[in-house]
A and B are shown apart, each in its own frame.
Chain A
Amino acid sequence: MATVPASTLAGNVAPVKIRIRDLEKSFDSPAGRVVALADISLDIPTGCFFMIVGPSGCGKTTLLRILANLETPTRGSVEIGSPAVGQPGNSMIFQGDSLFPWMTVWDNAAYGLAMRKRPKSEIDEVVGHYLARIGMTRFAKAYPNQLSGGMRQRVSIARAFANNPDILLMDEPFSALDEQNKVMLQEELLKIWEETRKTVLFITHSVDEAATLGDRIMIMTAHPGRAKRIVDVPFDRPRHVLELRAQPAYGELVFSIWGELREEVQRARALDEGEVRS
């Protein structure tokens, strides 16, 4: 198991898809200035399954939103390798509910393709394919308010995949799923990813999920969010979720990440309490 400090990653041999330098993001609110992200410098190779873990409020979503061009950095630079001709740069799976309540499951999943005015035959084929893979074919005509939270998350996964972007930005996509469905969808995600080898940025609160899915795991600090450490995940692919979890090396990796994360969560909590007291 190799742990690499964030700063020594530059100049990696694999072609870099995302290059972040000295990124800082702060928000001005009535309560004062909140520094959400600071000193983030990072290279993410093409085809890397990159996991992000960190205490709540450490700026994970903010980082993804900057990469998706939904937020502008306060300082620093972000360079993203261009996608293939005609391919969208990135698609985001948003944290929480983001399906359009006024569209059916099918129309939600077809949204990206429809916005790009793809021919109907292509939309039918691609959307049908991904709805089948997430097990939602039966609900194609349902509206989101007729689905459970987990089903809605599955549809938003299909929406992002059907758009076939160069980079997938996934913000806690499995958080509303029960354990069994989570494992099934993790397996499915690994299979789909194996076929396409897209660059993926994946936020999770689950250390298990990070070690199961990722090539690399970035552990973030809280207030402001910095890259505390980037951990390489050494397991071979293709992976099988349950087999992988039975290996001793897996347990060791999870344990060490837990150690680093617990420190941060405690520090974040101490900071919050300090703020309350002062």
Chain B
Amino acid sequence: MTTIRHANLEVGAASSAGEAEEIAHDMATNTEAAAHPLVTNKVRQARLSGGMSASNRDRIINVISPIALLVLWEIATRTGIFDARFFPAPSQIFDTLVTLVGNGTLWNNTWASLQRLFWGALLGGVPALMLGVAMGLYRPLRAIVDPLVSATYPVPKSAIMPLILLIFGLGEASKIVMVAIGVFYPVLINAVAGVREINKVYLDVGHNFRASRWQVFTTIAVPGALPLIMSGIKLGIGMGLILIAIAEMIGAKSGLGYMIWNAWEVLSVETMYVGLLTIALLGFLFTLLLNEIERVIIPWRVQR
């Protein structure tokens, strides 16, 4: 019985993850175009709003909008507009949350997922950054690797999950590798684009001042490509969150994905929501954190 359920779930999970990946894919290919309108938007906002700075106002809106959504949901469930079996009220979910926090379940599972996410991001992100920047600098390397990337990138990462399980087993390794694969592509693709967008005159300056290959790499290619690399990292972490949830639903004994899957098996809808909300919250916190990191490591982007 359970095996049939598993099979169903795999198909379901794969197709929904496929959709999510498609969106992430579109975002990855559109980052160049998207990056600039965003910047000009910020400039315009800064001019329009008189007293408060645009970034401060953005931060406040970022906090208020999810709270408003929760209030509406509570009302909708209590008044019977929503079916409480599928959409339990936020207050009920909150009770479950308190229980899961109290007995350590939520924290243990979140910690397990975070660790996998961290190691996966490191394992996928660092090589992607090195290889991407090198590809941006050296045409022959680009000629060799580009076809491989183009051929493998469109394959839904969730579709290779069985293969990864086969190779790396049911333990930690397969989860970390899944995250790594998800982080790898957006970082790589953005790093290549970022380096190729660097004005050639900067490379001439490096050459004229006798910068070694490694010095060109660290003082010109990486900082020059950093704005796009950061976009790649953001997309990669988003991808990693999607993939870790999927990976933990298959053959895992811990993690948020496991918690959600297990909640479905024991029909604890509230626990499922707690898991979903935790993942959403993680995504939100990662976005804030990465924006903050971006602000610190790209100080030259500051408007005058």
Contacts and interface: CB of A to CB of B under 8 A. Distances in A.
B19 interface: no
Contacts of B220: 100
Contacts of B204: 65, 70, 92, 94, 98
A68 interface: yes
Interface of A: 65, 68-70, 88, 90-92, 94, 96-98, 100-103, 111-112, 114-116, 143-146, 163
Main secondary structure of the interface of A (DSSP, over half): loop
12 contacts: A70-B207, A90-B208, A96-B201, A97-B201, A100-B202, A100-B224, A111-B205, A111-B219, A114-B219, A115-B212, A116-B210, A146-B302
B164 interface: no
Interface of B: 201-202, 204-212, 215, 219-220, 223-224, 226, 298-300, 302, 304
Given A115-B210, A115-B215, A116-B210, A98 B302 contact: no
Given A97-B201, A98-B202, 9 more contacts: A91-B208, A94-B204, A94-B205, A98-B201, A98-B205, A100-B202, A102-B298, A114-B219, A143-B299
A102 B300 CA distance: 6
Contacts of A115: 206, 209-212, 215, 219
A272 B101 CA distance: 77
Nearest to B298: A102
Main secondary structure of the interface of B (DSSP, over half): helix
Contact of A88 (B201, B210, B299): B210
B304 A100 contact: no
A145 B208 CA distance: 23
Given A143-B299, A143-B302, A145-B300, A100 B211 contact: no
B209 A112 contact: yes
- Which residue of A90, A101, A102, A115 has the most chain B CB atoms within 10 A of its CB atom? A102
Contacts of B210: 88, 112, 115-116
Given A94-B201, A100-B220, A111 B302 contact: no
B29 to A, nearest CB: 25
Nearest to B226: A102
